[in-house]
Amino acid sequence: MEPETFLQSTIKDTIINISHDYRYMKTGYYVSMHAEILGDAVIPSSKNIIEANRTPILLLKASKAGIPTLPYLVTSSVKQIMSELTFPLVTFAVNPFSYDGYRIATNRSSLYRAVKSLSMNYKFAVCAQPMKGEMISIKSIFGKCEAPAVKRVSEKVYEVFKIPLCKLHVQSVGNEILLCGLQPLKKEEVLPEDLRNISEKISELSKTGGILIG
Amino acid sequence: MANIACFVERYNFTDQREEKALQNFKRAAEQMGHNFGFMYRENISDIPKYDAVFIRATTDPLFTSYIVSKTADELGLKVIDDPESIQICGNKIHQYALFKKHDIPHIPTIFVNKTDIHRKRLMGIFQELGKPVVIKAPYTSFSRYVEKAACETSFREVAKRFFRKSDILAVQAFMPTAYDWRVGVLDGKVLYVCKYMIPKGRWKHGAKLRGKPTFIWGRTVSMKRENAPATLKELALKACNMIGHGLYGVDIKEANGKYVVVEVNDNPSIYAGYEDLRDKDLYGKIIEYLTD
């Protein structure tokens, strides 16, 4: 069913909300919100959508659930980041507008540039984390991903936040995979083989009933 | 004795009346034997050191204040505003959908998405709600992102701007009144009542001067909560119960002897000499709630 049709409906069922973009106030978010207002069980919930897309909350909840994460700092002060963390660093935006990517800072001037840009001229905060290894960005579809090393973290993130389609940012440090961030996919990043995986998962889920929105 | 963190941003101290209200909170907490400190964005990592968090910076699920609220909530701290209240009050689409579900009398509202922006649908909206209509972005606060549209062209122009951030907008019937009631509610009880007067020649409590960035605000007329109409207070409490048990400011319009909810706000404004004028105990009551 198309999202616009569902938003006009009063369907009572289990809803699986499929969207490449679950950002707050986008159609993917409103589908989950509408399902909850109707009293339907829905994947993902509107609360999980907000929490998974706010990096500090993602990391807080993930670490509580036993997913390996790094220490993080929420601030717009470069001085504070430098006094509490050591280079190199990875910074994520915590503002209402940026939702794509991260910035790596290896020294003071690159950190200033990263914070100035991600905080929109220090108006908002950023989430800074130490960079201990290599950054990996990978698609996660119903908790499944292509990199075997990231499999466990990807599955666990899905178990906690239930976001069917997303991009995970992780750090590979030795044998360990540490969660750093979660972001929406761009439409062009969803490939035909991903659609096949989605359909497989959907048919598996629909055996237990439910309506697919997407 | 409890340690209370009051999360603020620099702009909370730009208005003297707001600054005074913040100092009143501090004084009330200290008189009750608690510690009350202002926490800025740079000190978020100190949240675990506190017993309760009181958010005074503007709230929205996309702002830092939500990170503060959720972090405090996850750590088991008492927090005003709690994350659920921010989620519902910060998005008027969510709120009006709940009003419809729970039969809360509210201004007639229609939701529109981008596919609704065509002549036939817009004419249908004008026919149903009358002209002009009020277009409201879900993230509206302090009278911003709420605009009137009396024709298809202005509707399209306003909607185009508001659609940049949200895929759904609320369109409401235009109900001009001389004032909006504001009922402050805490934990299911009325805390204060006042009237937010609409400036002359305007239709919102806060209005932008044409061609200037400055806002003008209508007067605030306070009254003792005991003296406010019972049906008004009942409606305010009914609307808040649907959201949660935190601190809310309910805006209500009175038309033809009937009350209708305009919206429920979390993080309501509290300015010294305005909301607190007739019920000075509101500071103590909020501190009591945080430390209970």
* pLDDT single digits (tens) B99-132: 999 999 999 999 999 999 999 999 999 999 999 9
In the prediction, which pLDDT does A200 show?
Answer: 86
Query: Is A60 in Cβ contact with B74 (below 8 Å)?
Result: yes
Q: Looking at chain B, how many residues does it have?
A: 292
Which residues 111-130 of B are in CB contact (within 8 Å) with A?
111, 113, 115
pLDDT tops 70 at residue A211: no
Token pair 């510690």 is found at: B35
List, as one string, the DSSP characters of B91-118: -HHHHHHHHHHTT--B--EEEEEGGG-S
Q: Chain B: residue nearest A27 by CA? A: B167
Q: How far is A207 from chain B (nearest CA, A)?
A: 30
Query: Is A94 in Cβ contact with B41 (below 8 Å)?
Result: no
A138 shares its domain with A172: yes
- Quickly count: other Cβ atoms within 10 Å of residue A143's Cβ: 22
In the prediction, which pLDDT does B212 show?
Answer: 72
- Residues B143, B269: contact at Cβ < 8 Å? no
In the prediction, which pLDDT does B214 show?
Answer: 75
In the prediction, which pLDDT does A156 show?
Answer: 97
A97-126 pLDDT tens trace = 888 889 999 999 999 999 999 999 998 999
Query: Is A95 in Cβ contact with B87 (below 8 Å)?
Result: no
Distance of CA B260 to the CA centre of its chain: 16
A22 burial via Cβ count (<10 Å: 0-12, 13-18, 19+): buried
Q: Pairing relation of β-strands B109-113 and B133-141?
A: unpaired
Provide CATH code, domain B3-89: 3.40.50.2300
Task: Tell me the C-alpha to C-alpha distance, in Å, between residue B140 and each of B11, B92, B146, B205.
Answer: 18, 8, 7, 13
A-interface mutation test, from B40, B44, B45, most A Cβ less than 10 A away = B45
Query: Is A27 in Cβ contact with B67 (below 8 Å)?
Result: no
- Quickly count: other Cβ atoms within 10 Å of residue B31's Cβ: 11
Q: How far is A97 from chain B (nearest CA, A)?
A: 8
Query: Is B42 in Cβ contact with A75 (below 8 Å)?
Result: yes
Query: Is A56 in Cβ contact with B67 (below 8 Å)?
Result: yes
pLDDT tops 90 at residue A129: yes
More confident residue, B269 or A207: B269
pLDDT confidence band for B180 (50 / 70 / 90):
very high
Q: How far is A103 from chain B (nearest CA, A)?
A: 19
B110 shares contact with chain A (CB less than 8 Å): no
A108 shares its domain with A17: no
- Quickly count: other Cβ atoms within 10 Å of residue B12's Cβ: 18
In the prediction, which pLDDT does B183 show?
Answer: 98
Give me the residue spans of the domains in chain B. Answer: 3-89, 108-173, 177-291
Query: Is A50 in Cβ contact with B61 (below 8 Å)?
Result: yes
A60 shares its domain with A138: yes
Average pLDDT over residues A73-83: 95
Q: How far is B213 from chain A (nearest CA, A)?
A: 19
Q: Which of B66, B115, B166 sits opposite A4 (nearest CB)?
A: B115
B170: chain A residues, CB-CB within 8 Å: none
Query: Is A34 in Cβ contact with B44 (below 8 Å)?
Result: no
For chain A, what is the HEC assignment? CCHHHHHHCCCCCCEEECCCCCCCCCHHHHHHHHHHHHCCCEECCHHHHHHHHCHHHHHHHHHHCCCCECCCEEECCHHHHHHHCCCCEEEEEECCCCCCCCEEECCHHHHHHHHHHHCCCCCCEEEEEECCCEEEEEEEECCECCCHHHHHHHHHHHHHHCCCEEEEEEEEECCEEEEEEEECCCHHHCCHHHHHHHHHHHHHHHCCCCEEEC
In the prediction, which pLDDT does A173 show?
Answer: 95
A96: chain B residues, CB-CB within 8 Å: 60, 62-63, 165
Distance, CA of A119 to CA of A95 (rounded, Å) = 7
A57 shares its domain with A161: yes
The total of structural domains in chain A comes to 3
List the CATH number of the domain containing A142: 3.30.470.20
A137 shares its domain with A183: yes
A201 shares its domain with A125: no
In the prediction, which pLDDT does A55 show?
Answer: 96
Is the predicted ipTM greater than 0.90, yes or no? yes
B63: chain A residues, CB-CB within 8 Å: 96, 124
**How many CB pairs (< 8 A) connect A and B?**
85
Please, what's the b/e burial string for A103-115 (b: 16 or more CB within 10 A of its CB; e: otherwise)? bebeeeebbeebb
Distance, CA of B288 to CA of B34 (rounded, Å) = 10
Residue B244, SS3 per DSSP = coil
**Full-model pTM:** 0.94
A148 shares its domain with A119: no
B56-111 pLDDT tens trace = 999 999 999 999 999 999 999 999 999 999 999 999 999 999 999 999 999 999 99
B66 shares contact with chain A (CB less than 8 Å): yes
A54: chain B residues, CB-CB within 8 Å: 61-62, 66-67, 70
At residue B38, what are phi and psi to the nearest 5 degrees?
-85, 130
A56 shares its domain with A138: yes
Which of these, B255, B59, B92, lies nearest to B174 by C-alpha position?
A: B255
Q: Chain B: residue nearest A72 by CA? A: B45
B-interface mutation test, from A5, A31, A33, A46, most B Cβ less than 10 A away = A33
Query: Which structural domain, as residue segments, surrounds residue A18?
Result: 3-49+191-213
Interacting residues of A89 by C-beta distance below 8 A, sequence separation 6+: A81, A104, A105, A111, A128, A129, A130, A131
Distance, CA of B240 to CA of A46 (rounded, Å) = 20
Residue B87, SS3 per DSSP = helix
Distance, CA of A72 to CA of A53 (rounded, Å) = 15
Average pLDDT over residues B215-241: 94
pLDDT tops 80 at residue A212: no
Query: Is B70 in Cβ contact with A51 (below 8 Å)?
Result: yes
B98 shares contact with chain A (CB less than 8 Å): yes
Distance, CA of B82 to CA of B53 (rounded, Å) = 9
Distance, CA of B84 to CA of A26 (rounded, Å) = 19
pLDDT confidence band for A210 (50 / 70 / 90):
low
List the CATH number of the domain containing A96: 3.30.1490.20
More confident residue, B51 or B208: B51
Indicate the residue type of A59. L
Task: Tell me the C-alpha to C-alpha distance, in Å, between residue B230 and each of B38, B148, B183, B244, B276.
Answer: 36, 32, 12, 21, 20
Give the mean pLDDT of chain A: 93
Average pLDDT over residues A140-169: 95
Q: Please, how many CA atoms are within 13 Å of residue A114, restricted to the half-sphere of its CB?
A: 27
In the prediction, which pLDDT does B126 show?
Answer: 97
Distance, CA of B50 to CA of B34 (rounded, Å) = 11
B138-166 pLDDT tens trace = 999 877 899 999 999 999 999 999 999 99
Which helix (H) or strand (E) element contains residue B258?
strand B258-266
pLDDT confidence band for A96 (50 / 70 / 90):
confident
Class of domain B108-173: alpha beta
Angle, helices A27-38/A46-53, rounded to nearest 10 degrees: 150
B67 shares contact with chain A (CB less than 8 Å): yes
CATH architecture of B177-291: 2-Layer Sandwich (3.30)
A93: chain B residues, CB-CB within 8 Å: none
Indicate the residue type of B251. D
A79 shares its domain with A124: yes
Lowest-pLDDT choice from A75-79, A207-211, B184-188: A207-211
H helices present in B10-57, as ranges: 16-31
Distance, CA of B17 to CA of B23 (rounded, Å) = 10
Q: How far is A56 from chain B (nearest CA, A)?
A: 7
What percent of chain A is modeled with pLDDT above 90?
81
A18-57 pLDDT tens trace = 999 999 999 999 999 999 999 999 999 999 999 999 999 9
B193 token code pair: 């009542």
B91 shares contact with chain A (CB less than 8 Å): yes
